[in-house]
């Protein structure tokens, strides 16, 4: 029973680390932002240029990852673009992201600690199981999530917001925040994270298959 709990704990930690690490990598990938600004016609909708969007992107990412308090203030062409409700929502996003990034650090430490505390068992029996089950869990999650996104992305997006945010996330179509980060931006981000996680899951599953039952 103890070993089953250990395997479950390790697999859960691997799953969490892979998903959130891929999210973190995308969060700091400036090329992705500008690919999506181009794909979603943000330059035209916001009537702005690359420099202004660079500033807005830098301020947004810095606020979400490093700010300890306060509201996000964004200016495009010298004009503030966020309403009070949008600022409240971004503060909710900041709190969620910083908690996830803090949990990611804890997950790394916990994973290493569990491995070191059970190194003999892990080398002899656990390596194959952890990689195999981690691969299966990642692949299954990605397939299910992609299916839900394809089936109804709006409903999936709405459910996510209902679970993690207060009621200040419904904005009109004229919202500058929505024009800057439209649904297409989050759809592409979700696909990128899931694709990367899926490929890692395939790698884990293949590695688990190659590892002998006992080393």
- On whether residue 215 sits in a domain, the answer given is no
- On whether residue 20 sits in a domain, the answer given is yes
Domain that holds residue 76: 2-210
- Rounded to whole angstroms, the Cα distance separating 201 from 195 reads 10
- On whether residue 28 sits in a domain, the answer given is yes
- On whether residue 148 sits in a domain, the answer given is yes
**Backbone conformation region of residue 73, classed left if phi is above 0, alpha if psi is from -120 to 50, else beta:** beta
* 0.85 surpassed by pTM: yes
**pLDDT for 201:** 96
**pLDDT for 111:** 94
- On whether residue 25 sits in a domain, the answer given is yes
Query: Model confidence over 163-201: pLDDT tens digits?
Result: 667 667 778 888 999 999 998 898 899 899 999 999 999
- Rounded to whole angstroms, the Cα distance separating 169 from 54 reads 24
Structure token digits, residue 39 = 């794909």
Band (pLDDT 50/70/90 cuts) for residue 123 is: confident
- On whether residue 88 sits in a domain, the answer given is yes
Per the CB < 8 A criterion, the answer to whether 121 and 3 are in contact is yes
> How many domains is the chain built from?
1
Per the CB < 8 A criterion, the answer to whether 88 and 168 are in contact is yes
Query: Model confidence over 5-30: pLDDT tens digits?
Result: 888 999 999 999 999 999 999 999 99
């Amino acid at each position: 029973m103890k070993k089953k709990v250990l395997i479950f704990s390790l697999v859960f930690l691997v799953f969490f680390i892979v998903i959130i690490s891929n999210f973190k990598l995308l969060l700091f990938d400036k090329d992705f932002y500008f690919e999506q600004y181009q794909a979603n016609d943000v330059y035209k909708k916001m009537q702005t240029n690359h420099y202004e969007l660079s500033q807005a992107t830098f301020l947004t990412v810095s606020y979400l990852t490093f700010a300890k308090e306060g509201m996000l203030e964004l200016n495009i062409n010298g004009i503030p673009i966020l309403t009070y409700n949008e600022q409240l929502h971004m503060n909710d996003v900041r709190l969620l992201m910083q908690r996830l990034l803090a949990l990611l650090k804890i997950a790394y430490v916990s994973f290493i600690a569990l491995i070191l505390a059970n190194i003999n068992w892990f080398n002899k029996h656990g390596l194959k199981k952890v990689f195999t089950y981690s691969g299966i869990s990642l692949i299954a999650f990605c397939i299910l999530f992609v299916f839900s996104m394809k089936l109804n992305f709006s409903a999936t997006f709405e459910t996510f917001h209902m679970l993690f945010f207060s009621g200040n996330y419904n904005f009109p179509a004229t919202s500058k925040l929505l024009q800057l980060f439209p649904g297409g931006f989050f759809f592409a981000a979700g696909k990128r994270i899931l694709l990367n996680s899926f490929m890692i899951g395939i790698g884990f599953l293949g590695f688990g298959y190659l590892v002998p039952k006992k080393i």
